[in-house]
Amino acid sequence: MTALIYPNESADTGHAKKWRKWLKADKIDRFIKVISDLAEDNPGKKDDILKALNYFIKNRDRMLYATFRKKGYFVGSGVVEAGCKTVVGKRAKQSGMFWHVKGAQNVLSTRCAVLGNIFDDYWKQRKVA
């Protein structure tokens, strides 16, 4: 976004740095308002700015980082990536393994139930043919 509006600024300084602070502090509405105003001030780039801004508008409720951190939630992708590596990689991506979608889904659902300590409840609801 910064490169579009302020092409001579570094992504680590200036407006980008300030805007990141706003986003980390749940000031997404302030960010959206400022960028909307900047779009109006840059008629030649307005469509591109609004297109980029639309991502923030659509995902506003997912960008309440301070709120999520206060509740103890993770806001980065590292935890999800590590979970995928643990759940999927260690069970379904070993050397020589090939899966059909249905078989992989069954194995991974069972693995998630075991790792999530809900195996008994999962198995009770599972249809056994």
Same domain, 66 and 82: no
Mark whether 66 and 105 lie in a shared domain.
no
Segments forming the whole domain that contains residue 46: 2-70
Same structural domain, 37 and 85: no
The type of residue at 116 is G
pLDDT (tens digit per residue) in 84-125: 888 888 888 888 888 999 999 988 888 889 888 998 888 888
Specify the pTM.
0.67
Could you write out the DSSP letters of every residue in 39-97? HHH-TTTHHHHHHHHHHHHHTGGG--HHHHHHTT---SSHHHHHHHIIIIIHHHSSTT-
Tens of pLDDT, residue by residue over 10-60, are 888 889 999 999 999 999 999 999 999 999 999 999 999 999 999 999 999
* Shared domain check, 40 and 84: no
